[in-house]
A and B are shown apart, each in its own frame.
Chain A
Amino acid sequence: VFVRGLKRKCFDGEEDIEGTLAGIKAIPSYTLQRQSLLDMSLVKLQLCHMLVEPNLCRSVLIANTVRQIQEEMTQDGTWQMINTQSTGQASLDRLVSTDILCRSSRDQAEGKHVPAYGTFNKDFEGDQAQDGSETMATASSVQTPRNLQSNVWEMENAQENKGNFQKSLDQIFETLENKSPNSVEDLFSEVDNSYYDLDTMLTGMMSNTKMGHCDSLETFSSPTNTASNSNCKSDLNDLDHIVEILVES
C-alpha cells in the first residue's frame, strides 16, 4: 500500500461505509478520488525510472490513465481550476507526500547538475515556492526523466499550462526511448547513479522531518556505486513504509 491516506480516498471502499456519520465523512468526492488517482499515477510513472529498464507496458497503461483523467478534467473545466486554487488540507497532506518524492529526486538531480544550469535551478525553485498550485507543479516536476538535463529547461514552462503537461508526459516516453543525443553525456554522468540510489534518497528524506524543506537534501552522501542499486527493488517497499511514516508524522 503506497500511502494509508490515499487508500481511504480511493474509488474502492464501498465496503468501508458502515452507514455511520464517520463513514459518510469518509466518502471522498469523485473529484477528490480522481485527483488522488492522478497523483498516484504520476508518482508511479516517476518511480518506474529505476535500475532495470521500466516495464513499457505498465508505463504506457499508466500514462494512458493519466491522459484519460486529463481529458476528463479538461472537459469538466477543472483542469485550469487546479492551477489556481488550493484544494484543502486533506489533499495537501497527500499532495505533499507526492511532492517529497518528486522534489527529492528532482532536486537531487539538480543538485548535481553542471554549473551551466545553476542559475536556472534557483529561479525554478523560487517559482516552486511561490506557486500555490500543487498539482500542476507536482505533475510537471514528476515528469523529470531520469537523466535528460535538456528537459529541465522545458520544465521552466511546464507549470504554466496543461499543454506542457502533455509535453512532459511525452518526455517520459522520450526517456524510455532514451535516444536523444543530448542525453548521451548524461548517461555517463554521476547524476544517473545518484538518481537510482534509493538509499541516498531515503537517507535524505529520513533526515528531513519537516515536509517540504529541500535544504537538507544537500546533505545527501555522494552517489554510491551500482552495487547498491541491486537493492533498489526491495527498497521500494521500504520507500512505501517511509513515506507512510512521513505523511503520518
Chain B
Amino acid sequence: FLGAGGGNDIQWCFSQVKGAVDDDVAEADIISTVEFNHSGELLATGDKGGRVVIFQQEQENKTQSHSRGEYNVYSTFQSHEPEFDYLKSLEIEEKINKIRWLPQKNAAQFLLSTNDKTIKLWKISERDKRPEGYNLKEEDGRYRDPTTVTTLRVPVFRPMDLMVEASPRRIFANAHTYHINSISINSDYETYLSADDLRINLWHLEITDRSFNIVDIKPANMEELTEVITAAEFHPNSCSTFVYSSSKGTIRLCDMRASALCDRHSKLFEEPEDPSNRSFFSEIISSISDVKFSHSGRYMMTRDYLSVKIWDLNMENRPVETYQVHEYLRSKLCSLYENDCIFDKFECCWNGSDRQVEFLSLCTSDLPNIVMTGSYNNFFRMFDRNTKRDVTLEASRENNKPRTVLKPRKVCASGKRKKDEISVDSLDFNKKILHTAWHPKENIIAVATTNNLYIFQDKMN
C-alpha cells in the first residue's frame, strides 16, 4: 500500500495488452465490460459479439519478484447470441452489458453476464483429471460387448490437460421490457438486482421463473416520460439497501424493508444546478452513467459526462467532492451532441482495498483512496482523494515496454500549446475508454480501449 503524504504517488507501468493490433476494429470485438473477480485472480471481459473472455493471473513467480503474475486467457465462451423479437420486429443485441462475479464458494467460479434482455449465470470449472478403466466402455467411448468382460476393475482418475469449461446454469429471461443497464449481486450472495431503463427487478439466484419488481418509474402515459434509470447497485454491506441513478442526475437510495415496491426513496441525492453553467445541454451532461459504492459503503461515486462526484451517504444535498474529468469539453458540447459522443456512458471505479486492513486501521487517511475513470483519446484519469492530485494517462501500444512508467499526459484547453501537450481539437473522440477495473487487492488496473484490454501495474521496487 501507499504510505500517506506526498511523493508516494503510484507510478503506473505498462504490463500487458490483449486484443487485435490492427486499427480496423471488428464490431464484435468491441469490449463492453471489464470486471475482476473477488480475489483478483480472474479478469473477465465481455464484448459486442456476446463473448466472454476470462484471463487468469499466473501464480507469482518467486524468481521474478519485480512483477506480478501475468494474465493469460483462461476461458472463452459465447455467452449470448443475437435474438429477434418477432413481436416488435426488432433485433436483440448480443452485446454483453455487464459481468458480475459471485464470490467463490467451491472449486468452480460463477459469474452473471447480461445483454439487453437476458441474464445468465455461468459456471466456470476446471477439469484436470478424467476417469479411465471403465468395465463396459472402451477408452474411446464405444461400448464393449458384456460377454467379453471377464474381470472387473475400479475406474481410476488419471491426470489430463487442463480443460476449462463454461456452462450456463441459470437463465433469467423475460423480465425486462427495456434494456438492462446494470446487475448487482446482493451482500447476502443469494439475491441480485437487474435494472433496465424504467424498472428494477430482484432475483434469487436459484429461481429463474420469477422475479420481484422493486422499482418501477414507468409513467402510466409514456408521453410523460422524461427520466430513465441509468445504473443501480446494492450496498456492499446492507442487504436491504440499494441505489439507482437517473438521467436527470439524481441518485435514489431505497430500503427494501420499507415496502415491496420501492417507488419512494429513502434518500434523494441531487446537487443543485450551477446557474452560471446552464445551457441546453445541462441535463444531458448531468445524466449519471455509473454509480459505485465505496468498499466501506459509506460513500458512493457517480460519473456524469464531465465529472466524477463522491457522495457521503449521510449528505443528500451535494457531493462531498467533485473531480473534473475533462472540463475542456464544456465548450465543445454542441459538437459532441452532434456526433453523439455526449451520450457516451463512462464508468468509474475505486481502487482496491484490503477490507481487513481497513477495519483494523485507526487512521483511514493512510489508506490509498483513488478513483479512476476513462476519457477520450484513450486517456484515463485518476484522482487521489487524499492528496487531491490527479493524473492523466494514456493506453497506447506506443508505451508497451513492460515496466516502462507511463508518462502523464496533458490536454491543452486553450492558448499556446506546450510541448508534449495535446490540444482539444486533436483529441480522437473515437478512441474512448468507457470501461476500467481495479484489482480488488493490488495496484493492478485493467483499462479497455475500443477493442484492446490494457493491464497496468504499479512499479514495484
A residues with CB within 8 A of B: 1-2, 6-7, 10-12, 14-15, 33-34, 37, 40, 44, 51-53, 55-58, 60-61, 63-65, 68-69, 170, 173-174, 176-178, 187-188, 192, 229, 233-234
B226 near A60 with CB under 8 A, answer yes
Given contacts A11-B279, A52-B90, A187-B87, 17 further A-B pairs with CB under 8 A are A12-B331, A12-B333, A15-B414, A34-B280, A40-B338, A52-B92, A53-B90, A53-B179, A55-B179, A58-B340, A60-B225, A64-B226, A64-B283, A65-B281, A170-B222, A173-B222, A187-B88
B343 near A174 with CB under 8 A, answer no
Partner pick for B284 among A10, A40, A61, A229, CB 8 A cutoff: A61
CA distance A65 to B285 in the complex (A): 12
Instruction: Tell me the count of chain B residues lying within 8 A, CB to CB, of chain A.
Output: 40
Tell me if A's interface is mostly helix, strand, loop or mixed: helix
Nearest Cβ on chain A to B279's Cβ, whole angstroms = 7
CA distance A229 to B223 in the complex (A): 28
The answer to the question of B194 belonging to the interface, with a C-beta cut-off of 8 Å to chain A, is: no
B residues with CB within 8 A of A: 27, 85, 87-93, 116, 178-179, 197-198, 222-223, 225-228, 230, 247, 279-281, 283-284, 287, 331-335, 337-340, 343, 414, 425
Q: Which residues of B contact A2 (CB under 8 A)?
A: 338-339
Nearest Cβ on chain A to B276's Cβ, whole angstroms = 16
Q: Which residues of B contact A177 (CB under 8 A)?
A: 222
CA distance A2 to B230 in the complex (A): 26
CA distance A188 to B88 in the complex (A): 9
Q: Known contacts A60-B226, A177-B222: does B334 contact A12 (CB below 8 Å)?
A: yes
B89 near A7 with CB under 8 A, answer no
Write the chain A residue with the least CB distance to B423.
A15
A192 near B222 with CB under 8 A, answer no
A65 near B280 with CB under 8 A, answer yes
Q: Which residues of B contact A64 (CB under 8 A)?
A: 226, 283
Partner pick for A10 among B89, B91, B335, CB 8 A cutoff: B335
In the complex, 29 of the A-B residue pairs with CB atoms within 8 angstroms, ordered by the A residue number, are: A1-B338, A6-B338, A10-B334, A10-B338, A11-B333, A11-B334, A12-B332, A15-B425, A34-B280, A37-B280, A37-B334, A40-B338, A51-B91, A53-B90, A53-B179, A56-B198, A57-B228, A57-B230, A57-B287, A58-B340, A60-B226, A60-B247, A61-B287, A64-B226, A65-B284, A68-B283, A170-B223, A187-B87, A187-B88
